[in-house]
Amino acid sequence: MRTLLAALSQRQRRRRRLPVRPRLRRQLGRFAAGRWRTLGRVRNQEPEARHRNNNGDDDDDNPDNAAVNSDASDAEPPRIAYLLEGTKGDGLRMRRTLQAIYHPRNQYILHLDLEAPPRERIDLAMYVKGDPMFSQVGNVRVIAKGNLVTYKGPTMVACTLHAVAILLKEGLEWDWFINLSASDYPLMTQDDILHVFSSLPRNLNFVEHFQLSGWKV
């Protein structure tokens, strides 16, 4: 009885193993063939890859590497033009934000809208004029006449274009334009921001760089 059971169990093991062995052989054969084909492709590509790396063709063809590996490291840091906007009661906040984002290389235009009283606008102008750094460098300007700014309509865009027109009319040097409000406050120092922007091409802007794919315009 034991001999019969041993023979049956041995037959069952053989039946289980027989279908597996050819399958394993086929899989190992495919794996080996694919591996050798892959190794052959790599070996055939090695001389060409070495030739490209020696000539530096990959870095020239990649636009990202071209932007980062450009001569921006040897050039001077960029200049940023800031428009700082506020309304009634934002005089002190505008001073705080101006002190936080100030850098001698940049340009600054301060604007208090029409709702701010004339006295607050005069105090802001006197503060800028009385600061030794601002007076010596001369890169901070206060718009004397406030514009009407509302959250509806094109008034905010018109105020932004007004500030850009002042920068262009006076022939000031700047690479990027940033619009801030009196309630904004930077998370990075201006030295760090200018260092990061130094590795970017000067013709890069948010409108062209940002893609609206999937957005409803």
Q: What is the rounded average pLDDT for all residues in the chain? A: 75
C-alpha to C-alpha distance for 76 and 194, rounded to whole angstroms: 10
Is residue 34 predicted with pLDDT exceeding 80? no
Which amino acid is residue 45, in one-letter code?
A: Q
What does the pLDDT read at residue 20?
44
> Which residues does 143 contact at the CB level (< 8 Å), separation at least 6?
109, 110, 111, 112, 162, 163, 166
pLDDT tier, 168 (very low <50, low <70, confident <90, very high otherwise): very high
Structure-model confidence comparison of residues 166 and 63, the more confident one: 166
Is residue 13 predicted with pLDDT exceeding 80? no
- What mean pLDDT is predicted for residues 1-19? 50
Is residue 89 predicted with pLDDT exceeding 90? yes
Is residue 104 predicted with pLDDT exceeding 70? yes
Q: Which of 103, 107, 98, 85 is nearest to 167 (CA)?
A: 107
CATH hierarchy code of domain 80-199 = 3.40.50
What does the pLDDT read at residue 73?
45
> Which residues does 66 contact at the CB level (< 8 Å), separation at least 6?
59, 60
Is residue 178 predicted with pLDDT exceeding 70? yes
Domain boundaries, the chain: 2-67, 80-199
pLDDT tier, 87 (very low <50, low <70, confident <90, very high otherwise): very high
What does the pLDDT read at residue 209?
58
- Model's pTM, two decimal places? 0.62
**Token pair in block for residue 34:** 């694919």
Could you give the angle at the alpha carbon of 142 between the alpha carbons of 137 and 146, nearest 5°? 170
Q: Are 61 and 54 in contact (CB under 8 A)?
A: no
**Token pair in block for residue 206:** 């948010």
pLDDT tier, 150 (very low <50, low <70, confident <90, very high otherwise): confident
pLDDT tier, 44 (very low <50, low <70, confident <90, very high otherwise): very low
Is residue 105 predicted with pLDDT exceeding 90? yes
Is residue 148 predicted with pLDDT exceeding 50? yes
Three-state SS sequence of the chain = CHHHHHHHHHHHHHHHHHHHHHHHHHHHHHHHHHHHHHHHHHHHHHHHHHHHHHHCHHHHHCHHHHHHCCCCCCCCCCCEEEEEEECCCCHHHHHHHHHHHCCCCCEEEEEECCCCCHHHHHHHHHHHHHCHHHHHHCCEEECCCCCCCCCCCCHHHHHHHHHHHHHHHCCCCCCEEEEEECCCCCCCCHHHHHHHHCCCCCCCCHHHHCCCCCCCC
